[in-house]
Amino acid sequence: MLINIDKRISPQLLFILAQMGHGDEIAVVDANFPAVSTAAHCITKEPIDMMGVDAPKCIELITKLMPLDTFTEFGILRMEIDGAPNELGDVHKDVVTVLDHVSGDAGQGSIERQIFYKRSKAAFAVVQVSEIRPFGCFLLRKGVIF
């Protein structure tokens, strides 16, 4: 048994986070995202299921264990809203609030939806949450521990 690990972090997710190295990315995706077909292209070939957890809570849980990259322009990228790339949806705002408390100096950015789909295929793993708010998908880039 381990202590101080949130019970919503599965052993599989804990192992994946430990395996990832600096610069590896993990996709946290909403309930509508094609997680199975995307994960088939990743290092981890099946999505990690975190149903019952929304995107902000999942990102909070992950970033308590995994530092975000501060050596690149963006340690986290959000999926842009179609036709409104500078607009933040409620899910994006909630994630910004989480990151303000845990991410340190990691930059936050956005990418267009179709580019997000392609980039997610190169991720280390895909974590699917029960987020149903539109465009609730994020890429987290692992940083280093000082």
Q: Report yes or no on 55 lying in a domain.
A: yes
Residues facing 127 on adjacent strands? 28, 48
Q: What is the CATH number of the domain that holds 56?
A: 3.40.1650.10
Nearest to 139 by CA among 55, 65, 50: 55
Nearest to 82 by CA among 110, 113, 118, 117: 113
Nearest to 64 by CA among 18, 102, 23: 102
Query: Active-site positions?
Result: 22, 69, 117
Q: Report yes or no on 73 lying in a domain.
A: yes
Q: Report yes or no on 31 lying in a domain.
A: yes
Q: How many domains does the chain have?
A: 1
Q: Report yes or no on 97 lying in a domain.
A: yes
Q: Give the model confidence (pLDDT) of 48-91 as tens digits.
A: 999 999 999 999 999 999 999 999 999 999 999 999 999 999 99
Q: Would the pTM of this model clear 0.75, i.e. be above it?
A: yes
What is the secondary structure of 81-117 as a DSSP string? BTTBTT---HHHHHHHHHHHHH-TT--EEEE-HHHHH
Please state, rounded to an integer, the average pLDDT across all residues of the chain. 94
Supply the pLDDT for residue 5.
Answer: 92
Q: Report yes or no on 17 lying in a domain.
A: no
Q: Give the model confidence (pLDDT) of 19-54 as tens digits.
A: 999 999 999 999 999 999 999 999 999 999 999 999
